[in-house]
Amino acid sequence: MKVESVRGMRDILPEETPLWQKLEAEIRAAFALYGYREIRVPLVERVELFSRGVGEETEVVDKQMYVFPDRKGLPLALRPEATASVVRAYVEHGLHAKGDLAKLYYLGAMFRYEKPQLGRQRQFHQYGVEAIGSLDPALDAEVMDLAWHLMERLALRREGLLLRLNSIGCRDDRPVYREALQGYFAARVGDLCPECRRRLETNPLRILDCKEEGCRALARSAPRSVDHLCPGCRQHFADVQAHLADLGLAHEFDPTLVRGLDYYTRTVFELCSRDLGAQDALLGGGRYDDLVELLGGPPTPAVGFAGGMERLVIVLSAQQGAEGASAPALDLYLVPIGDDARREGAKLLAAVRRSGLSVDTDYMGRSLRKAMQVAGRTARYAAILGPDELARGEIKLKNLATGEEKAVRLPQFAADPHTLIR
C-alpha cells in the first residue's frame, strides 16, 4: 500500500518553487520598505490562545482548528492564523515596554480543517503584517497602501483588484450593535437555523456570515454596524477614508463586511481579485485594538492584515504562463567517458564548484550521446572528458548555445574555470 499525502496538504515541487521564492522575496522587500521586521512564531500554540484571542464562536476556532493533546495532556493547536501568536509574543517579551510602534511581519504555514479546493488547502501559507501600538487612522491607510504596493510589485493590475472597507466599531459600540442585531433577529427567530438561534445569545454578529440560505436572507437587511458607531469611531472611519483618498487608493464601502475573527475592531478590509473565481480574497485585515489587553498586555491598539500565498501563486502563474521555459540552471555539465574519466571528473567537479560555478555530471551510466542531451537542456556549457583528453591532459569545453568547442589544459581549467566559461 502506497502512502499518500494527507488530504489538503500538498507538495510544492521544484517546478513551482522558483515562483514561491520570487513571491517570498517580493513580500519581504515590500514589508521592509514600510519598516516591518520579521518575527517567527511557533506553529503550535496552546488552544486557549486561539479560543480566547480569535474567539470561541468563530468558524476558524470552532470547526476548523487542528486540536490535539500533547503527551502530558496539554491541549495544543496547529495555528489557524498568526495574529494571535504575534500578539502573544509581543506581550510575552515585553515589546510594549519599548514604547514604540512595533512593526512586525511573518511568513509561514497555517492549518485549517476545511474542504480543500483550488486556492484553499488545509495547510496553506500566509504572509502578514502587524503594526502594534497606535490608533492613528493614517496607520490604517498605510497598511492598506502596503497591501496595494505589494500587489503592484507582483505586477497585478490595479483594475483587477478591489479594496472593500467597513467599520465595525469599538468595544463600547459592540453591545449597542449587538443589541440591535439581537432585536432584529429575535423578531425573526423562526427563520433562523438552530445554530444561529444559539448564536443569537452567544455571538449575534456571526449570524451575518452564516451559510444557511434562510439566515443569509435575513442578514442582507440586518442593521449595519456603521449606523451604530460612537462619535470617535465614526471620526476614525472618516479619517481612514480621507487618508485613503489622499493616497489615491480606490475603495468600496461594504457594510456587510464583518470578517471571520472576533478580535477585529473599527476598520476591517479585504483586498479581492476580480479575476480569481470563488476564492477571490487575496488578503484581509483590520484593527484589533483590544487583543493585546485581552492576552494580558497593557491596552494597546493595533492594525494589520494577512494574505494567502497560494492565491497569489495562482494569479502569478496564470500571468507568467506565457514566459516559456527558464534558462539552463547549470553553468556546466561534465560528460565523462569511461571509468578513469569519471574518477578524474569527480575531482574536477569539487574544484570547479568551489570556484562558484554550478556543475553537475551523469550518475546514471548514460551513453555519451544521452549525457550530451542532458547537458543540452540543463547547462550552458558541456565539458567532455574521455581517454583521449586524459592522455593529453586536456578537457573539451563546448558552448551549448553556439556549438563552439575547444580543448583546454586540465590543470588550467581546474584552477580558473571562470575565464573559460562566461
Q: Determine the Cα–Cα distance for residues 239 and 398; give it in Å rounded to an integer.
A: 65
Write down the least CB distance from residue 385 to RNA, Å.
7
- Residue closer to RNA, measured from CB, 56 or 405: 405
- Residue closer to RNA, measured from CB, 346 or 401: 401
Residue with cell 454596524: 225
Write down the least CB distance from residue 261 to RNA, Å.
6
Residue with cell 483586498: 271
- Residue closer to RNA, measured from CB, 180 or 272: 272
Write down the least CB distance from residue 255 to RNA, Å.
13
- Residue closer to RNA, measured from CB, 91 or 283: 283
- Residue closer to RNA, measured from CB, 95 or 145: 145
- Nine-digit cell at 110? 497555517
Burial code of 318-356, b = ≥16 C-beta within 10 A, e = fewer?
Answer: eeeeeeeeeebebbbbbbbbeeebbebbeebbeebeeee
The number of beta carbons lying within 10 Å of the beta carbon of residue 75 is 12
Residue with cell 500587489: 151
Write down the least CB distance from residue 246 to RNA, Å.
25
- Residue closer to RNA, measured from CB, 91 or 390: 390
The number of beta carbons lying within 10 Å of the beta carbon of residue 115 is 8
Contacts 24+ apart (CB under 8 A), 369-377: 371/333, 371/335, 371/336, 372/335, 374/333, 375/333, 375/335, 375/400, 376/400, 377/328
Write down the least CB distance from residue 22 to RNA, Å.
18
Q: Determine the Cα–Cα distance for residues 81 and 288; give it in Å rounded to an integer.
A: 14
CA angle centred on 415, ends 412 and 416, rounded to 5°: 85
Write down the least CB distance from residue 249 to RNA, Å.
17
Write down the least CB distance from residue 403 to RNA, Å.
3
- Residue closer to RNA, measured from CB, 112 or 243: 112
CB 47 within 8 A of CB 67: yes
User: Could you say which DSSP state residue 251 is in?
Assistant: -
The number of beta carbons lying within 10 Å of the beta carbon of residue 20 is 16
CB 365 within 8 A of CB 339: no
Write down the least CB distance from residue 399 to RNA, Å.
7
Q: Determine the Cα–Cα distance for residues 265 and 187; give it in Å rounded to an integer.
A: 27
- Residue closer to RNA, measured from CB, 57 or 209: 209
CA angle centred on 101, ends 100 and 107, rounded to 5°: 130
What Rg, from alpha-carbon coordinates, does the chain have? Answer: 28
Q: Please give the residue ranges that form the binding site for RNA (CB under 7 A).
A: 1-2, 7-8, 59-60, 81, 112, 114-121, 124, 126, 209, 211, 216, 258-261, 270, 272, 277-284, 306-308, 310-311, 337, 364, 366-370, 372-373, 375-377, 382, 384, 386-389, 396, 398, 400-403, 405
Q: Determine the Cα–Cα distance for residues 268 and 48; give it in Å rounded to an integer.
A: 24
- Residue closer to RNA, measured from CB, 245 or 318: 318
Write down the least CB distance from residue 384 to RNA, Å.
4
Write down the least CB distance from residue 151 to RNA, Å.
12
- Residue closer to RNA, measured from CB, 95 or 270: 270
